Structure 1
């Protein structure tokens, strides 16, 4: 479940609702996303009956039309994605609606990370899926470069143009041709917490990193481990690093590191890793210790925070809006049992992160083109929006389709961000460095979680792997 490939990076003042952009191209995104995320602070999340009526008035509204699809009786399709659990189950309901409308039969194929390697083995065996959901922008280019991906046809391109901002269209292009439809998005600068734990401890929502450490100590003193970390999946650790690094080092350094224009041995990386170690290296601050965290996958990192009554395995868990699916699986109610605060400011500004997964055609056919056309429509996105744990960059999905005020705020902020995007650092990197289990950044940060004292060694390993992957 590599939930987020494209990451919007925006900065917001922690003390002032007026955002403070640091680079050209972030201004509109800052204003929109900051407003939405600040609104999360949790009247929006606190079980208030006013669950987003203002947002329904101010949010995007549907087109009032239904996408036209061909009759495809007898056609069969396979769709591959690295989605599991409720996320996979909810997407299957979207596919079921496509089957109902067209008569085609669609089979979901569970993929493994890295999905490019998974697809390569399928293609080598002569059995590629018809459509794949690719969770990294570099993966789309790789699929094009390898001759696997097929351009979108006229109907899919038309549907995309009607429903997506130019920026979301452009990130699905390679060499000027449209290959991807960003079906799914996410906000990944959130820390969820068990409200009963916070109430028992007398803890409050922090706005800065220092306040987060104080809150963690308060939770610890109450008898509950502060953090749950899904360290078995390296992408969660890159997200931790990227939030800290962006806020602390600033966007200029962030962009330079993303392009490997500065080395991972740069002092700014040392500072970010040292900051992370204030949590990862603090005795008894991580559920199960480093060993336990490295055996905990993302879904379990969430559910163990919201099971066990007022004595769960941890009081807080970091990750995106999609954690709501796992919170519900744990039997907790978002806005009552589980609340959320924005990732705190480490430096002068706090990061806001969003991302997505793109549908790409591998086996061109009328049925495959129709499915991607459907996924580009508000019809498809609206189905999954109602089920929770999902955000769409489709601007014609009614804001009221989202099931709670938290997601309505996030969705509106995402759409209001318009065309201004900044991409996740690990997803901009060559996949061997930024997106492969057991290699590169994922492995180096897992090793760092195991031994947070080894800042210099971690930097050296990151730089060696980056230099090899980038070729410089």
Structure 2
């Protein structure tokens, strides 16, 4: 979940300071550990995720005879910084933050993928995933499990009863909103509340709209602060959010309820009897927050579609995140394991268990445990534009601070779009 990732990033920032301070030169070579025949992988997978990944590792070991091990840690993002500086890294690490890959590459900690592995990436992924794993013209990372956020959830039975159709464009979405209001129902349920992290769902909304209205190039400049946070393109994107947030006819409980409604609870009004709202925009994890009776039969009760695009030049962009595998050593078996990750064989068991999505072009969608995950995976694979959550890539004081606060101020009416974004820009400039 996003809140956990952000908190981890904030903790890791302390360790990153020493990494970026120049204590290790760009052309440095990590000391090779003794080859004991074991390939060590470290990452943040724990609990059920760790168990699922162990199944993947087991398939590789039995197939090849190598001895790959995996160890998950709740403090992984700090741990990996310490280990690299001590010249005791694992052979492979699973990095949840794209910026960490780039810092490690610049510092000389990780090595580029071999030509054989790059060829496998070209065969198995859309170009966007190779680009996301590249830095300075070299490929360093392979994506395996990913998550996606740009989705709208609805009550399938209620929509069928009312004759509503899934909108394919933003204009169709607007028309559907008006139809719902005319029918006496409320289009959206929106919740920003998340304890100390209140506001992060609003950042996701804005990020989605920047991709849809301004496109990936402007999105990247915004993330890297090459344009101001209150650039006209971002103000325009926020105005699209405001069409929904600030219209009391469109939001369950009105705009005032958005800040106080918990993000997990915000999906529940869709499935009350009678439903209190018709749509909820959230990531693929939101099914875990639905009522138990809904979860008992997701395929029958729940529908999902991609948040429609605005500008046809960028199709239907997808916002999300993912885990990137990088190599610290060139031990025998490391390249073989990396190449294995590009195959559907390394994904299918996890897909069948549920709770994971994969971007591989050559996947068997029937392996997913339910139709919802199949539909989401198809959108993910078909997306020509995919970008990581912007606030997770921004400086912590912005992405996990003023950006959250600015969205709360905007939706609560305390600030206009321009003043809220200016507030965030000023926090970044300090």
Indicate whether 1:275 and 2:240 are aligned.
yes
* Partner residue, 1:464: 426
Tell me the number of residue pairs that the alignment of Structure 1 and Structure 2 aligns. 387
**Cα distance in 1 for residues equivalent to 2:148 and 2:284:** 6
Indicate whether 1:289 and 2:289 are aligned.
no
Q: 1:119 to 1:310 in 2, by over 3 A?
A: farther
The counterpart of 2:348, out of the listed 382, 385, 406, is 382
After superposition, what is the alpha-carbon deviation per residue over 1:211-266, rounded to whole angstroms, capped at 9, x for unaligned?
Answer: 454367579x5599733457547664333112223434466755654554542323
Alpha carbons 1:280, 1:286 under 8 Å: kept? no
**Cα distance in 2 for residues equivalent to 1:374 and 1:91:** 13
The counterpart of 2:295, out of the listed 331, 339, 348, is 331
* Partner residue, 2:339: 373
Farther-moved stretch of structure 1 (221-230 vs 257-266): 221-230
1:191 offset after TM fit, Å?
Answer: 0.3
* Partner residue, 2:203: 238
Q: 1:388 to 1:239 in 2, by over 3 A?
A: same
Alpha carbons 2:316, 2:385 under 8 Å: kept? no
Q: For residue 361 of structure 2, give the secondary structure of its aligned residue in structure 1.
A: coil
**Cα distance in 2 for residues equivalent to 1:127 and 1:365:** 14
Structure 1 gap ranges (5+):
6-71
1:375 offset after TM fit, Å?
Answer: 2.0
* Partner residue, 2:282: 319
After superposition, what is the alpha-carbon deviation per residue over 1:186-223, rounded to whole angstroms, capped at 9, x for unaligned?
Answer: 5543201123555677766455353454367579x559
1:144 offset after TM fit, Å?
Answer: 1.6
Q: 1:129 to 1:218 in 2, by over 3 A?
A: farther
**Cα distance in 2 for residues equivalent to 1:99 and 1:190:** 36
Indicate whether 1:140 and 2:104 are aligned.
no
**Cα distance in 1 for residues equivalent to 2:162 and 2:104:** 50
Indicate whether 1:152 and 2:113 are aligned.
yes
Alpha carbons 1:75, 1:103 under 8 Å: kept? yes
1:78 offset after TM fit, Å?
Answer: 4.2
TM-score normalised to the size of structure 1? 0.63
**Cα distance in 2 for residues equivalent to 1:303 and 1:210:** 20
**Cα distance in 2 for residues equivalent to 1:218 and 1:76:** 61
Q: For residue 73 of structure 2, give the secondary structure of its aligned residue in structure 1.
A: strand
Q: 1:320 to 1:84 in 2, by over 3 A?
A: farther
The counterpart of 2:403, out of the listed 415, 430, 441, is 441
1:339 offset after TM fit, Å?
Answer: 0.2
Alpha carbons 1:188, 1:319 under 8 Å: kept? yes
Alpha carbons 2:267, 2:290 under 8 Å: kept? yes
The counterpart of 1:105, out of the listed 69, 73, 76, is 69
1:273 offset after TM fit, Å?
Answer: 2.4
After superposition, what is the alpha-carbon deviation per residue over 1:51-74, rounded to whole angstroms, capped at 9, x for unaligned?
Answer: xxxxxxxxxxxxxxxxxxxxx997
Q: For residue 300 of structure 2, give the secondary structure of its aligned residue in structure 1.
A: coil
* Partner residue, 1:343: 307
1:185 offset after TM fit, Å?
Answer: 4.0
Alpha carbons 2:223, 2:394 under 8 Å: kept? no
**Cα distance in 2 for residues equivalent to 1:205 and 1:190:** 12
* Partner residue, 2:132: 171
Q: 1:432 to 1:174 in 2, by over 3 A?
A: same
**Cα distance in 2 for residues equivalent to 1:421 and 1:205:** 21
Alpha carbons 2:181, 2:187 under 8 Å: kept? no
Alpha carbons 2:258, 2:411 under 8 Å: kept? yes
